[in-house]
Structure 1
């Protein structure tokens, strides 16, 4: 389950800055190009975009108070099932911080009529996007399932609403307490991991319901009792305190019948009253400085502001976008592109139900006095408060926001799709279509209104937090609690429950009474699952030879275009590594016709994003465009790829940003482990280079503009490029537009370059490499080995075999370390994808005092799996059912389809590859999977990298019987 310390509304999230972008070979721009300047192109009007956001629904309420919302979307044979309860950490009484989130975990551990782990049932039916989250205001549970599995899913959801307590034991409580405490350690162990405590403890006074962290304190988690479990459930998990959304392949009449059958027998619980929450104002400016294992000083400015239900929230979202969210934001232009006193800046408006947090942050440029950056930061904030945004800035913020909203609503479920939007609107405002209200407020917002509200809320006393590099003086062990009622009141969950029940004339604490109408003795059958119909892949070739692969998806008016080159990390060496990273960052800072700010404005005006990236073998540039704006968006992409300006000043500026990023990477425990493991198992092979794209400061500092130009000309060229397109267009239309924007791009006369796959791999030598990172409450264990397999090989049987030992939540390693031992928040193992040698890795973040025990358990699990206890019948059944039934849900969105086409083309699969997978999985048996596992997954080839506190960890490793090599963490 995922725990977020704040809830970000879709509007706030979409208004935040988007990552962008990349480049291609030096060539002349198309003569027909008409770049999207304000004068040359008029984007689709905002009203037209808002009209595209339509989520029609029906709403009804059962006699027991359960509110049900139904949205019909027949594009795929799946239904999103989302249940939101009006209970979060703000409902926790004194001494019980973290309990709402702890209870969320318990809800996944089985019910009276379905005693197994929740994921066992949902994986069996082919569920996707399965999770649960808790924030200060609410707890939600969601999954997207095949239509044929809806009855079983509703039975399971209703069972944990009405039939939970008989299945909760002290053992389960103790186990999940340990899991949550390791989730807390895992978050605390990251750079800036203590920020979540600083925000709420300083902006919201003690006694305020938002003062404490949702993760809670260790002491309060330790104190949680079975009595607390019982009273928390009876007090908050009644149907009258919940919203159920069904979105997808279903109609209202069918939904009503099914929901009544499965939820109608659950008695209403007591009336639950939300606590009063006010928006506090600090008595005076507050300043605090902390130290952490971070790369550079980070400055924060924070204010408590209105929550999402306030009419003032959306204008404040727009203010945060203009100030520091857009790529062309005020702060970017002034502090990063202008005076260059910061390497990065941003602003966010996190909106909870009853209040929000407006955050501005700036990472100080190395070598600059933090006081100088702080002064400029405060000056620009004050300037914005005084002036407000221009109409053009607001227009770009609106279009960028709308683009994100439209893309998010393509999915019926998950974190940002239709179901959660409907549920959030209903739970917080009583209006499932509240998103339309937010969008109308956005359309109606004026520069004067945004200025006035910025003055109202940001002119109040500010919390100024400075996080500077250094040793932590305080960990998170004693943080996250400290809630104390401002006035005398009930002191425990039981007391709170008693007070609420009696107020409702219902003082029975024995539990929520139910009467049974539905048969819960057996799980409902799963009907016939609709087989995947992967879209047809259409093909075309531009006049210059660039191959185009296309699939039509028209659920939302967007188009995704990926231009891919044969390059990746295999195009670099250890002595040049970082060239591509620096090149791509510099490409995002302007073309020959648009400077850095103009390029950012062009994207924002179109509601387009351009992202760049590369893996081991391929480099790609991806455009996300609104369909009405596709033509100018493709012209922009072409200019971006083909004609980067690569101004020396911009190169030097982004070099500084990458050096700062590299420094951050060398302080992050997961990155440290990944860098070390890759080099150990791959040596000088290009796959041994860090996945981040960054090598060393020496290489980055030594790269010249000529180096970048040479790489661009050598590797980004049309004869090594492919174009993948999925969305609301046609092959004919997009081919014509691509011909106009890319068709005149000709390849150099030189032969295409070849990626570097000829390096010899190191001889495997099993050992433990311990990297000392002092004061780490958790150790990161990363075991890795190179397999005798290529990416174009048939890896499906090996992947299927691995599911039993490490490939998912229910795998043996995760269930052991997380669910049985409670030492870890989560552990996984899997196969890395690549054209050349693929690798196998197992990762387990564990509490520091159990590092040695965890490695011993991992080794024992592999030994048993590969000798005496191979794939078991239940594991085979789960693997087959999960991987056959979840295929339609995997390809619900256009981006997922695009990823599938890319895999088909890159790894030389037939066009019907995904449509044949179901039959392939049905053909597996235990013997065949055991054979492939015993061939490829021998633990004796695994090297274990451990990043943790050597003083704590090293003594634990002596009994493991493996050589131990101790290294210092980078920078220590």
Structure 2
């Protein structure tokens, strides 16, 4: 994937939106308080009925040049997902060219003969997201565009399919090579970041197409030449090796006309030979230990399995889910809740076209002897193979998987949307409706089916790769390649050798983007429960699901009145036991209902969220109420989850990005401000270790109360029906006699003290740079859209100045981002940049220079202005495809005091923003003055680079979240 995946930082706010004028719905009459209801296990909806709800109608046609086209019509919004797959991935790479499929994917975004830059016109047209990814079997490209920009998207996809090579230069190749190498460094730099290399090496023999990593080896990336680029393109990127899906507000007749117009003249490429690469039976078990800078021993057990078209595919998916995917999985019940030898477990069936990774893992609790952990881990797997699953386990897993698939129907394009579902069925199975057969097979599975499949594949010799805490001795830069380089090196041509000149195709002109109408946001309805709890509903009927959020006025800022980490740990314990259910019973109940309950603390509010099937809404809400209103906080549960939280803090502190994020908030806001605690809300080890059932129960009673609650729902339910079921679960909840606690967000932050705080992390191939300062604004300050747009120019987006400079031009980073979150209290400016270690100082200088230039010497230009104004206006419908997106927007608007019609005014607000407004906001809030930087990296490599920046350097303890000593 070519994009930087954003890191969750200091409770980033959800995107903002609002709606049409609300419809007021009367509350039902008050009811008398009642005792906690006796628990009755709910009767879930039929699994067969759920499977019937999953449907993606489509039409299919093929052009004369071999391009296969799939069209799905969905008129719920004026947007179209454009998804293109090529049947080429890392398994297609020859020796000496590992990582090339992914490198080429990056090059495909660098412009074609008629399009200098793909992102600028697409983002200006409102595309979200414009992205691509590479995996073993395929390379894909996605964009979701307004209906009026479909022809532009097809022109651009066709131009890079048929008119690319004339625009690929040595300079572009070198820059994207640097970006990809930094993507590799970023992954390798993570805790356990070398594990996958070792698993692939042990699981498959040298030369097996699935053996080497998709990111490849540094040596092979360095060797890639322009001649390789041309051969890869001509061999693999013909229309006969591609599938195009158009999903959304379009019909097959319109699609055929446009596709013929733009793709029809592209000649077919050579026939692409199929790669055959099935699972491998090892002659004997393989064990390998990897030393790494990690806090916990992690054990993995991996088998190669069959591909997605195997008769065993669905049984293995369900079997691995029961083993370690479900919240009530065998591994969870035995090792996390049972013996408590683990602080985390998992099991998955990662399925590809011709093989799969069947993998289970155990994160061993600190202090547990390794031999005991391994024996217990292997015993759970062996017992499952002997016993097989129960009927209830199979049904719970199947219901959960079907519910997840129903949720994916909300999205027309992008990664995981309906277009991708259809294409992958066609690509891997020759059937766009393959998903239906898969779900039907899952629904029909018996325990005997699952047991037989699991025994067929997991009784074979296993690969055991174990990451052991210690000093990392291996380097990711030497890993990921073919595997026999030391004994049989591949020829390495001159990567800088000029390629012969090409004959380019005829000039083509991009079509215009049609006008985009105003966004039609669904109506907001309001009501109240019998006890006065306000309820907000946005009704959407595209899928038979409902998401409900309970938002309490608390959040991690509430920890300023308690102990750091209290809110997060208390919320984490809600589903670990109630007065009538234990943790396993809660997990099993969710799985039977196809529901998901999650709880998390943002900066200003604590939220408990339910994702439920409409058919199971009433029993799902009964379960939600039990979890929220009647948590038990039993001593054994608190002790177990507290130990998991201590391990989680250790894991975050071993992660360079997590460590930097924990350090920045205390530095910016100071210890006395509610926002001055570590930004992830986890607290400190000392504070968490001291928490007891009594303190957590007191925090629950203090903050989780009906008079600080707002309920928001989005989905397939009427207000009348919603109020009825909510009153059954929450309408009798009485507020306590104690007054509501008040967080003081008006406390001043300390005066900025610009400096660089260096946290030493030895052996780091990358440094993580985190800069920031507190702004003289709060989230409630209105009419600041120009600031958000100015930040898009500076650093919030792929085409932003910081990202284009450090990533696309210099190749020093996989991605840079700036943020201006909108909490209730003070806003802050944050800049995050993971960069190669030897360019740490240069990167900080460049960040400061880019910020100083905006707008002093480099004001916003016309292209940037059009991209952030017109692009946002046209892209508004894309931002609200899913129930969860709408929910987050409504909740954010309510929290910040925005009117219900806010989203209806966004287009006019953006149109009113001119270059002077953007420049003024950049000058006032986005400048370099007052910035403090946290740098997590190898001190020996980094510290000498910081001397010429002009900021004092301090050293910080890597585990105290910001306490520093002067130097």
The TM-score with structure 1 as length reference comes to 0.93
Partner of residue 801, structure 1: 790
Superposed displacement of residue 290, structure 1: 1.1
Partner of residue 58, structure 1: 59
**How many residue pairs were aligned?**
929
In the alignment, structure 1 residue 915 sits paired with structure 2 residue 915: no
1:29–1:643 Cα contact (<8 Å) kept: no
Map Cα deviations across residues 420-471 of structure 1 (whole Å, 9 max, x no partner): 0001111111100110111111122211111111111101001111111111
Partner of residue 301, structure 1: 301
Separation (CA, whole Å) in 1 of partners of 2:100 and 2:443: 40
Equivalent runs, 1:174-573 vs 2, <5 Å: 174-483=174-483, 521-573=508-560
Superposed displacement of residue 581, structure 1: 2.1
In the alignment, structure 1 residue 864 sits paired with structure 2 residue 853: yes
Report SS of the residue matched to 1:924: coil
Separation (CA, whole Å) in 1 of partners of 2:287 and 2:433: 41
1:316–1:349 Cα contact (<8 Å) kept: yes
Structure 2 CA distance for partners of 1:388 and 1:831, relative to 1, 3 Å: same
In the alignment, structure 1 residue 788 sits paired with structure 2 residue 776: yes
Superposed displacement of residue 847, structure 1: 0.3
Map Cα deviations across residues 137-167 of structure 1 (whole Å, 9 max, x no partner): 1000001100000000000000010000000
Superposed displacement of residue 491, structure 1: 7.3
Superposed displacement of residue 756, structure 1: 3.0
1:711 to 699, 708, 712: 699
In the alignment, structure 1 residue 832 sits paired with structure 2 residue 833: no
Report SS of the residue matched to 2:552: strand
Structure 2 CA distance for partners of 1:380 and 1:673, relative to 1, 3 Å: same
In the alignment, structure 1 residue 669 sits paired with structure 2 residue 656: yes
1:595 to 573, 579, 582: 582
2:278–2:307 Cα contact (<8 Å) kept: no
Superposed displacement of residue 622, structure 1: 0.2
1:53–1:406 Cα contact (<8 Å) kept: yes
Separation (CA, whole Å) in 2 of partners of 1:485 and 1:938: 49
Report SS of the residue matched to 1:751: coil
Superposed displacement of residue 489, structure 1: 14
Partner of residue 43, structure 1: 44
Structure 2 CA distance for partners of 1:691 and 1:483, relative to 1, 3 Å: same
Superposed displacement of residue 4, structure 1: 12
Map Cα deviations across residues 478-534 of structure 1 (whole Å, 9 max, x no partner): 00102569999997999xxxxxxxxxxxxxx998997x7xxx532101112132111
Superposed displacement of residue 709, structure 1: 1.1
Separation (CA, whole Å) in 2 of partners of 1:185 and 1:68: 37
Separation (CA, whole Å) in 2 of partners of 1:250 and 1:160: 23
Map Cα deviations across residues 216-268 of structure 1 (whole Å, 9 max, x no partner): 00000000000000000000000000000000000000000000000000000
Superposed displacement of residue 96, structure 1: 0.2
436-445 or 175-184, larger mean C-alpha shift = 436-445
Separation (CA, whole Å) in 1 of partners of 2:831 and 2:501: 45
Partner of residue 927, structure 1: 916
2:178–2:811 Cα contact (<8 Å) kept: yes
Map Cα deviations across residues 843-888 of structure 1 (whole Å, 9 max, x no partner): 1110000001111111111111131211112111111111100001
Partner of residue 893, structure 1: 882
Separation (CA, whole Å) in 1 of partners of 2:704 and 2:33: 15
Map Cα deviations across residues 52-92 of structure 1 (whole Å, 9 max, x no partner): 01011000000000000000000000000000000000000
2:223–2:493 Cα contact (<8 Å) kept: no
1:94–1:483 Cα contact (<8 Å) kept: no
In the alignment, structure 1 residue 883 sits paired with structure 2 residue 872: yes
2:166–2:503 Cα contact (<8 Å) kept: no
872-881 or 172-181, larger mean C-alpha shift = 872-881
The TM-score with structure 2 as length reference comes to 0.94
Partner of residue 17, structure 1: none
Separation (CA, whole Å) in 2 of partners of 1:493 and 1:56: 49
Partner of residue 767, structure 1: 755
2:725 to 737, 743, 752: 737
Structure 2 CA distance for partners of 1:701 and 1:44, relative to 1, 3 Å: same
1:855 to 844, 855, 870: 844
Partner of residue 14, structure 2: none
1:36–1:602 Cα contact (<8 Å) kept: no
Report SS of the residue matched to 2:243: strand
Separation (CA, whole Å) in 2 of partners of 1:184 and 1:264: 37
Report SS of the residue matched to 1:687: coil
Report SS of the residue matched to 1:208: coil
Separation (CA, whole Å) in 2 of partners of 1:491 and 1:611: 53
Map Cα deviations across residues 82-121 of structure 1 (whole Å, 9 max, x no partner): 00000000000010000000000000000001112x2112
Partner of residue 613, structure 1: 600
Partner of residue 88, structure 1: 89
2:792–2:868 Cα contact (<8 Å) kept: yes
In the alignment, structure 1 residue 686 sits paired with structure 2 residue 686: no
Partner of residue 806, structure 2: 817
Separation (CA, whole Å) in 2 of partners of 1:2 and 1:196: 20
Separation (CA, whole Å) in 1 of partners of 2:307 and 2:485: 22
Separation (CA, whole Å) in 2 of partners of 1:136 and 1:65: 23
In the alignment, structure 1 residue 952 sits paired with structure 2 residue 924: no
Separation (CA, whole Å) in 2 of partners of 1:699 and 1:778: 31
1:92–1:493 Cα contact (<8 Å) kept: no
Map Cα deviations across residues 700-719 of structure 1 (whole Å, 9 max, x no partner): 11111111111111110000
Structure 2 CA distance for partners of 1:4 and 1:817, relative to 1, 3 Å: closer
Separation (CA, whole Å) in 1 of partners of 2:329 and 2:103: 39
Map Cα deviations across residues 604-636 of structure 1 (whole Å, 9 max, x no partner): 000000011111110000000000000000111
1:34–1:635 Cα contact (<8 Å) kept: no
Report SS of the residue matched to 1:886: helix
Separation (CA, whole Å) in 1 of partners of 2:467 and 2:790: 46
Partner of residue 683, structure 2: 695
Report SS of the residue matched to 1:328: coil
1:35–1:632 Cα contact (<8 Å) kept: no
Map Cα deviations across residues 924-943 of structure 1 (whole Å, 9 max, x no partner): 11112111221112211110
Superposed displacement of residue 278, structure 1: 2.0
1:36–1:606 Cα contact (<8 Å) kept: no
2:535–2:712 Cα contact (<8 Å) kept: yes
Map Cα deviations across residues 633-659 of structure 1 (whole Å, 9 max, x no partner): 011101110000111101000010001
Gapped regions of structure 1 (runs ≥ 5): 6-27, 495-508
1:534–1:915 Cα contact (<8 Å) kept: yes
Partner of residue 68, structure 1: 69
1:757 to 733, 745, 753: 745
Partner of residue 643, structure 1: 630
Separation (CA, whole Å) in 1 of partners of 2:658 and 2:372: 31
Structure 2 CA distance for partners of 1:921 and 1:463, relative to 1, 3 Å: same
Report SS of the residue matched to 1:42: coil
Partner of residue 25, structure 2: none
Partner of residue 172, structure 1: 172
Separation (CA, whole Å) in 1 of partners of 2:492 and 2:35: 73
Separation (CA, whole Å) in 1 of partners of 2:40 and 2:490: 61
Report SS of the residue matched to 1:624: strand
Partner of residue 106, structure 1: 107
Report SS of the residue matched to 1:636: helix
Structure 2 CA distance for partners of 1:592 and 1:650, relative to 1, 3 Å: same
